[in-house]
Structure formats: C-alpha cells, structure tokens
Amino acid sequence: MANIGHVVIGLIIVGAVAYMIIFLAQQIIARQVAKLIIRLEQLKNIPVRDRLVDGRKMSLTGKSLKQFEALEAKYTKLEMTGFEAIKKQADQVLFDSQGVNFVKSTQSMKVLRQMEADASKDIDIVQQGMNDLEQLDREHKQAVLDLEAKYKELRKILLSQSFKFGPALDKLEEILGALEEDFSEFARMTEEGDHAAAADIHETLAMETNQLEERIAQIPALYEDLNEKIPAQLAEISEVYTAMAAKGFRFEEDFVEPALADLQKQRKIGLDLLQALTLKKVNDQLKGLHESIEYLYATLEKEAKAQQRVAKQLSELLEFKHHVSRQNHDLKIELDRMNQDFVFNKNEFDQVQTWTKQIHNVTEHLNDVTREIETQELIYSTVENGLNQDQDLLTAVEHDQVTMWDNLQKLPAIVKVARTRVTQHDEKMRLIQRRVERQNLPGIPTAYVDFYNSVNEELGRLMQQLDATRINIDDAQRQLSIVSADLDNLEERTNRVLEDADLTVRLVRKAFMFQDNQEVQQAVNEAKYYYEQSYDYESATRILGDVLDQIEPGTVATLRHQFQTEVTE
C-alpha cells in the first residue's frame, strides 16, 4: 500500500509540473503575440496612405506614374488583406498554444513573425519609393529654375559680349539654342510629373550645359590671343625686322619673312579650329605659335645684341691689334740693336716673324669683318667666335712679346752680374793659390794640380766669352754655373790637401813619443815617403794615423780637431 501511495504522489507531482510548463508556455506565447499585435497596430498607424494621397497631387505621368502606381498597389494590398491576415495568424497562434502540441505552436509563431516582417518591409519599400519620387520632384523643379536662369545668363553673355567670341559665336549660339529646346522638353516633363523620363534629359542637359559654360569661359582668352596679341606680336616682329634689315642686319638663311607668313597661316588655322569649338586643338595650335614667335623674338634679340658686342669688340680689337703690331715692330728694332752685343739662340727673330704673320692674318680678318659691315653682308652672331679667337691670339702674342722684351732688357744686368761673379771667382783662385804656396809643402798632388789648371782654364774661357764683341749669354750662364760648382769643389779639395799635409806633420811629431815601437817607426818612414816623394798626403795620414790610433785611440780625430780649430780662429 505504501508503494502505491508513493506512485500516486509521484504522478500528481509530474502532472503538476507538466501543467506548470504548459501554463508558462501559453503565457510566453500570449505575451509574444501581444507584442506583435502592438507592432501591427504601429504599422497600420504609419501615414503611408496620406503620403500616397499627396503623391497623387504631384500629377505624375509616364514612368514616374507607373512607379507610383506600383507602390500604391503594394500598400493597398497590405491594407486590404495583409494586415487582416496577420491578425488571423495571431489568433491561430493563440488557439494552437492552448493545446499541448508545442511544435505546431512554434511553427505558427514563426509564420506570424515572418508575416509581420514582410509587412514592415513592404511599408519601408513604399516609404522609400515615395521619398525618391518626392526628392526627384523637388530636384527637377529646382533644376528647371536653375537651368532657366543659367540659360538666360549665357544668352546675355553671348549677346552683350559677342565681340569676345569671334568666329565661335555662331556655334555657341547654336548649341545654346539646342540646349534651350531640350530644356523646354525637360521643363514640360517635370511639370507633367514624368520625372523618370525627365531624369534622362536632365543628366544630358547638365553635362552639355557645363561643357558650354567651360567653352564660354575659355574662348574669350583664346580669341584675344589669336585675334589681338599674336597679330600685334607679328606686326612688331615685322616692324623690327624691317628696321633692322634697313640698318644692314642679316639673318641666317633669311627665314624671318617666310616664318612670319607661315605664322599668319597658322593663326588663321587656329581661328578655324576655334570656330569649330575644338579647343584642345586650338590650345595646341597656340602653343606652336607662341614657341615660333618666341624663337623669332630671340633671333632678332640675338642679332641686335651680337651687333652691339661685335661693334664694341671690333673697335677694341682694331686698337689692340695696332698696339700689338707696334710692339712687334719695336721688339724687332730692339732685337736688331741688341744683336750687335748678344748672340740669340732661341729663335727670337723667327718668333717675331711668326708674330708678324699672325698679326697680319688678324688684320685681314678684321678688315673682312669691317668690309662686310659696310656692305651689309654680315650676320653678326656668326662672327663672334672668330673675333674671340682673334682676341685670344693677340692676347697670347702680347704676353709673349712682353716676356721677350723683359728678357732682352735683363741681358745687360745679367752680363754685369756674370762679370762680377767671374771677378770674384778669379780673386778666389788667387787666394787658393796663395794659401797653398804659404804652406811650403814639398810638392802638390798631381790630381789636384790638374783639377786646379782645369778650373783656371774654364774661368779664362768664361772671361773671354764675357769680353767678346757679341756675348752668347745662355752659354756664358751655363759656363758660369759649371765654373762656380768646380770652384767650390776646388776649394774643398784644397782644404782637404792642406789638412792632410798638416795632419801628417802632427802625426810624425806624435810618433816621437813611441820611438821604441818598431811598427810606429816603420809607419813613420812609409808616411814620410808619401809626404816627401809622391805628395800623397792623404795616404801618409791614413798609414801613420791607423798605427797611432791602435796605440792611442782617437789620436787622429784629436789632431784633426786641433787643426780645424786653429784654421777657423
């Protein structure tokens, strides 16, 4: 019995739980349906029908009317059947929720949500469609006002400023007339409400009107360039060219007049292109015209400036040439005069003759230029290079002339200095001779005597050169350098001979301190032989000095130092 009681209690609990679940599910569905019903009422309250009624007042036609009717039909269908169908589906959901078939209830709820979403979407489509139609209506009506004002302004510009457009005026008026006709059609369609068809015309009108405005803005400057500025420039170039030609100016290939004629043709082509409104080609044509005109201006300016430079340079060159020619003449006279006293071996006379020929060539060229100026045959810009070459040549000649003149003027002073040095060298030879003689040496080394005589002979020949009627100064200077070097060498040899001779005597005296040393005595005898018989004082010093340095290191150095100290005191 207890078990049966437990089962019954369990069944009661399960039933109670099941009932609670069903009750809660019904409540949830009921609340969801209630929310959807509220949403449905909100959709109904959207004033779509009012907007559609207002839309009928726009007097739409054509494609716009068809678009409106499609929107109206969509909303009417929703009004007539859509909203009611949603209400019925809500009732069905509530009915299904009373049972225990949760699957069916869920499916019914899903259908209800979808129906509500579709209705909301249809209303959005109708609303957006009406927005587009209203916006298009406002835009087109504003476009009609804007375009009408713009065409009036463009017409006013073409009428009041017709002189600024030249041959392009007729074409511009033709285009404006065509645009005005299209505008009338656009205005009519807008007024009738056929905005879809009007939109196509409006797009074309806007594009072509902008293009016309750009042309009207650009053409006056282009026409002014072709009709006023360029003709004025060509006239100025022609006037300047005529005046320059009358003054004797000439130009390479004489192209100026043909170029002016061709530019006039190109200008007319530009006007034809302007008449056809091909503005890009007009700009290209103007670019070529301006480049050619600038080249003509540059050519005239180049010749005018070249004439000024040539006139100035020619005058300066003629004066400079006279100066260099006169200087060359003076230099030749000076060479002839100094040739009596000096021997020239640097081709000085040939060099002066070469300068004479170069000056003559420059003279001929300057005469040719002067003659071409007088006969009006000269192209000034073509002779500047030649005149610059003349300038460079004369400058180089003048520099070399001055150098030669300065060298000639230095010759007497060079001879004087050379003679002074020769006199000093001769006195030095005598001093050397007296120094040697005062030493009372038993004899003089043969090599020294030979070198002394050689230097003496060189000095004698140099004296003869400097005392000659015509002096070869270059050879005399070379000989003076040799004699100077040899004399310094002779002085060194003299010092060495006298020092070795004296040192030998001192070493012999020193050797007396070692009379018992056989090796020393033998060295003394050998040193006396070289001293008294062959006059080889260097060998005598070396033989005896080596032996004494072995006995008493530093002997030779000490005695040599004593001698040098005595000599310098």
Provide, rounded to the nearest whole percent, the portion of the chain with pLDDT above 70.
79
Q: Is residue 263 part of a domain?
A: no
Joined together, the tokens standing for residue 79 give 């009004």
The verdict on 388 and 421 lying in the same domain is yes
The band of 23, judged by pLDDT with boundaries at 50, 70 and 90, is very low
pLDDT digits (tens, 9 = 90+) for 222-242: 999 999 999 999 999 899 888
How high is the pLDDT of residue 132?
66
pLDDT digits (tens, 9 = 90+) for 270-327: 999 999 989 999 999 999 999 999 999 988 888 888 888 888 998 999 999 999 999 9
How high is the pLDDT of residue 96?
61
The verdict on 420 and 463 lying in the same domain is no
Q: Which of 387, 421, 438 is the last residue of a domain?
A: 438
The verdict on 299 and 423 lying in the same domain is yes
Give me the residues paired with residue 471 across strands. Answer: 342
The verdict on 71 and 130 lying in the same domain is yes
Q: What are the φ and ψ backbone dihedral angles of 515, each rounded to 5 degrees?
A: -65, -25
Please, what is the average pLDDT of the chain? 82
Residue 367 has pLDDT above 50, yes or no: yes
Residue 134 has pLDDT above 90, yes or no: no
Q: Which of 80-89, 222-231, 235-244, 459-468 has the lowest mean pLDDT?
A: 80-89
How high is the pLDDT of residue 271?
92
Exposed (0-12), middle (13-18) or buried (19+): which is 209, by Cβ within 10 Å? buried
Residue 16 has pLDDT above 50, yes or no: no
Q: Which of 162, 40, 29, 152 is nearest to 92 (CA)?
A: 29
The verdict on 427 and 477 lying in the same domain is no
Q: Which of 240, 289, 298 is nearest to 262 (CA)?
A: 289
Q: Which of 196, 184, 204 is nearest to 144 (CA)?
A: 184
How high is the pLDDT of residue 422?
93
Q: Is residue 219 part of a domain?
A: no
Instruction: Look at the chain and report how many structural domains it folds into.
Output: 3
CA-to-CA distance for 379 and 391, rounded, in angstroms?
19
The verdict on 424 and 532 lying in the same domain is no
Is-contact 542 496, C-beta < 8 A? no
- Greater pLDDT, 167 or 202: 167
Is-contact 119 178, C-beta < 8 A? no
Conformation bin of residue 535: beta by default, left when phi > 0, alpha when psi is -120 to 50? left
- Greater pLDDT, 196 or 441: 441
The band of 54, judged by pLDDT with boundaries at 50, 70 and 90, is low
Residue 214 has pLDDT above 60, yes or no: yes
Provide, rounded to the nearest whole percent, the portion of the chain with pLDDT above 90.
41
pLDDT digits (tens, 9 = 90+) for 153-170: 778 888 888 888 889 888
The verdict on 562 and 485 lying in the same domain is yes
How high is the pLDDT of residue 22?
47
CB proximity list for 204: less than 8 A, separation 6 or greater: 182
How high is the pLDDT of residue 398?
95
- 488-499: burial string, b at 16+ Cβ within 10 Å, e else: eebbebbeebbb
Q: Is residue 476 part of a domain?
A: yes
Q: Report the alpha-carbon angle 366-369-374, nearest 5.
A: 125
Q: How far is CA 454 from the centre of its chain?
A: 71
The verdict on 288 and 426 lying in the same domain is yes
Is-contact 421 484, C-beta < 8 A? yes
Q: Is residue 233 part of a domain?
A: no
- Greater pLDDT, 367 or 94: 367
pLDDT digits (tens, 9 = 90+) for 511-545: 989 888 999 899 999 999 999 999 999 999 999 99
The verdict on 462 and 351 lying in the same domain is no
Q: Is residue 542 part of a domain?
A: yes
Q: Which of 136, 167, 201 is the last residue of a domain?
A: 136
CA-to-CA distance for 64 and 130, rounded, in angstroms?
11
Residue 33 has pLDDT above 60, yes or no: yes
In three-state secondary structure terms, 471 is strand
CA-to-CA distance for 110 and 411, rounded, in angstroms?
132
How high is the pLDDT of residue 346?
83
Q: Is residue 175 part of a domain?
A: no
The verdict on 395 and 363 lying in the same domain is yes
CA-to-CA distance for 344 and 134, rounded, in angstroms?
116
User: Mean pLDDT across the stretch 1-29?
Assistant: 52
Q: Is residue 386 part of a domain?
A: yes
The verdict on 376 and 412 lying in the same domain is yes
CA-to-CA distance for 88 and 314, rounded, in angstroms?
118
Q: What are the φ and ψ backbone dihedral angles of 446, each rounded to 5 degrees?
A: -60, -45
Q: Is residue 360 part of a domain?
A: yes
The verdict on 346 and 448 lying in the same domain is no
The band of 424, judged by pLDDT with boundaries at 50, 70 and 90, is very high
DSSP letter at 1 equals -
User: Mean pLDDT across the stretch 394-421?
Assistant: 93
The band of 209, judged by pLDDT with boundaries at 50, 70 and 90, is confident
Q: Which of 438, 472, 501 is the last residue of a domain?
A: 438
How high is the pLDDT of residue 175?
84
Joined together, the tokens standing for residue 309 give 């430079």
CB proximity list for 158: less than 8 A, separation 6 or greater: 165, 169, 172, 173, 176, 216
The band of 52, judged by pLDDT with boundaries at 50, 70 and 90, is low
Single-letter amino acid, residue 201 = I
Domain range enclosing 345: 278-438
User: Mean pLDDT across the stretch 90-107?
Assistant: 62
